[in-house]
């Protein structure tokens, strides 16, 4: 098949959604399909790249930062994408369009459906479904409520990352459309897995991975680490990511003279994975998620995870086996969870059960996720959708 993928964010732009696109594209290509990606250009990146079965077109629309975007930049990408496809001269007949996000991707996808009769599937990453993340998205969802509903109804399928997100989509679109809302979790590359903490030593390495924004709540992670240091636990922490809260975190660290902590800024995905192979415990106190790629990748490297009991996390964290849920967003409670892990599992050389390793690796691989998408694509190409 010839697969068109729309995503205004593709590495090095954005966070998890771009990495999901990259991994799915690679999996589709390895399975013998041709993949054509249209995304946003950023300084230092080629506007056109083609290798093997993958072609990437980066359009020179507005984009100021790698780690975040805004509605004006999204609109700019929509406008440039439509203009690009109006002038499209390549001899490629696409079989299916996979649109990342209802907006902005879905707006381009429905344009191509009208132009070329090209069926499209929307991959929702969570916040494009009302009323996900109301603290940040209420105004956005209110303004685009009917547009979002129209784009989701016109798609062939809507892919949701978790059962919770499917329930939201079912409620938003109504019972008539529940069969077109399909759950396909994100995947991971299962390698360099730490099967136990037997040789980990006595110093605990913590990690926070994510954009430095309110949704991810990096300040809560920093406060937890500060309390752990006061408790006398031998801990270090690296906080990986960039965003508008980073200067505030730096000031906090200076003001309270917190030691043994490093803010790395945004680093490459390969570097993130190497850090995960060295670290022991991930702090993931996000307020909302579709399905956290950082949590999945940490688990795939054998890290233990403390995370909030939200969408996606509830599908991959098994209490007491590979992590614990943060029930209350309180510094002392989370610090005590870390302390319990340190004394009851870390120092005692905790080993993951064999059944967990086998079941987890089979359930959440990119190969498995890609095959589920391809099944939807085949239904579209044979008019079974």
Distance CA 368, CA 125 (A): 18
Distance CA 169, CA 103 (A): 15
Contact between residue 54 and residue 26 where contact means Cβ atoms under 8 Å apart: yes
Q: If you average pLDDT over every residue of the chain, what do you get?
A: 92
For the record, the structure tokens of 71 come out as 């509605």
Q: Is 117 left (phi over 0), alpha (psi -120 to 50) or beta?
A: left
Residue 136: the pLDDT is 66
Q: How large is the average pLDDT for residues 178-196?
A: 88
Residue 281 pLDDT greater than 60, yes or no: yes
Taking only the tens place, the pLDDT of each residue in 229-242 is: 999 999 999 999 99
pLDDT band with cut points at 50, 70 and 90 for residue 158: very high
Contact between residue 42 and residue 74 where contact means Cβ atoms under 8 Å apart: no
Contact between residue 196 and residue 350 where contact means Cβ atoms under 8 Å apart: yes
Contact between residue 121 and residue 380 where contact means Cβ atoms under 8 Å apart: yes
Q: How large is the average pLDDT for residues 58-66?
A: 94
What crossing angle do the helices spanning 145-154 and 134-143 adopt, rounded to 10°?
Answer: 80
Q: How large is the average pLDDT for residues 2-31?
A: 93
* DSSP code string of 90-123: S----SEEEEEIIIIIHHHHHHHHHHH---EEEE
- What is residue 289's three-state secondary structure? coil
Residue 375 pLDDT greater than 80, yes or no: yes
Q: How large is the average pLDDT for residues 94-112?
A: 96
Q: How large is the average pLDDT for residues 350-359?
A: 88
Phi and psi dihedrals of 94, rounded to 5?
Answer: -80, 145
Residue 15: the pLDDT is 76
Distance CA 100, CA 20 (A): 10
Residue 253 pLDDT greater than 70, yes or no: yes
Vertex 360: Cα angle to 190 and 7 (nearest 5): 60
Strands (E), 48-103: 48-51, 54-59, 96-100
Exposed/middle/buried for 205, CB within 10 Å: 0-12, 13-18, 19+? Answer: middle
Distance CA 96, CA 1 (A): 8
Which residues 6+ apart lie within 8 Å of 173 measured at CB?
149, 152, 153, 158, 181
Q: How large is the average pLDDT for residues 290-299?
A: 89
Taking only the tens place, the pLDDT of each residue in 304-318 is: 999 999 888 998 999
Distance CA 132, CA 148 (A): 13
Residue 201: the pLDDT is 87
pLDDT band with cut points at 50, 70 and 90 for residue 128: confident
Could you tell me which residues are beta bridge partners of residue 206? Answer: 237, 281
- Domains recognised in the chain with CATH numbers: 2-187+365-381 (3.40.50.2000), 204-362 (3.40.50.2000)
Which residue is it, tokens 């079912």? Answer: 170
Q: Find, among 277, 319, 323, 321, the residue nearest to 301 by Cα.
A: 277
């Amino acid at each position: 098949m010839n697969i068109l993928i729309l995503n205004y964010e593709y590495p090095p732009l954005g966070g998890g959604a771009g990495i999901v696109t990259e991994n799915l594209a690679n999996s589709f290509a390895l399975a013998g399909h041709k993949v054509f990606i249209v995304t946003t250009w950023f300084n230092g990146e080629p506007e056109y790249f083609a290798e093997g079965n993958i072609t990437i077109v980066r359009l020179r629309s507005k984009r100021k930062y790698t780690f975040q975007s805004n509605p004006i930049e999204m609109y700019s990408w929509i406008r440039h994408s439509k203009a690009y496809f109006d002038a499209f001269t390549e001899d490629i007949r696409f079989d299916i369009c996979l649109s990342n996000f209802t907006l902005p991707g879905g707006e381009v996808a429905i344009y191509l459906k009208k132009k070329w009769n090209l069926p499209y599937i929307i991959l929702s990453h969570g916040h494009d479904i009302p009323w996900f993340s109301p603290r940040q998205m209420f105004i956005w969802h209110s303004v685009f409520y009917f547009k979002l509903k129209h784009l989701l109804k016109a798609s062939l399928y809507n892919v949701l990352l978790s059962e919770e997100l499917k329930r939201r989509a079912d409620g938003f679109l109504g019972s008539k459309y529940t069969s077109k809302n399909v759950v396909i979790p994100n995947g991971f590359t299962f390698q360099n897995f730490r099967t136990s903490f037997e040789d980990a030593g006595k110093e605990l390495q913590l990690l926070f991975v994510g954009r430095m924004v309110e949704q991810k709540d990096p300040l809560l992670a920093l406060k937890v680490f500060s309390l752990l240091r006061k408790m006398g636990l031998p801990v270090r922490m690296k906080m990986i990511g960039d965003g508008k809260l980073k200067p505030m975190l730096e000031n906090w660290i200076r003001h309270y003279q917190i030691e043994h902590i490093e803010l790395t800024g945004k680093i490459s995905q390969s570097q993130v994975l190497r850090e995960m192979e060295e670290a022991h415990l991930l702090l993931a106190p996000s307020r909302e998620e579709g399905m956290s790629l950082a949590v999945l990748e940490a688990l795939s490297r054998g890290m233990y995870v403390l995370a909030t009991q939200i969408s996606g996390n509830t599908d991959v964290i098994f209490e007491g086996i590979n992590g614990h849920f943060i029930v209350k967003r309180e510094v002392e409670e989370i610090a005590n969870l870390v302390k319990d892990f340190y004394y009851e599992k870390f120092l005692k050389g905790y080993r993951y059960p064999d059944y967990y390793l086998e079941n987890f690796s089979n359930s959440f691989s990119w190969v498995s996720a890609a095959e589920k998408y391809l099944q939807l694509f085949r239904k579209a190409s044979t008019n079974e959708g």
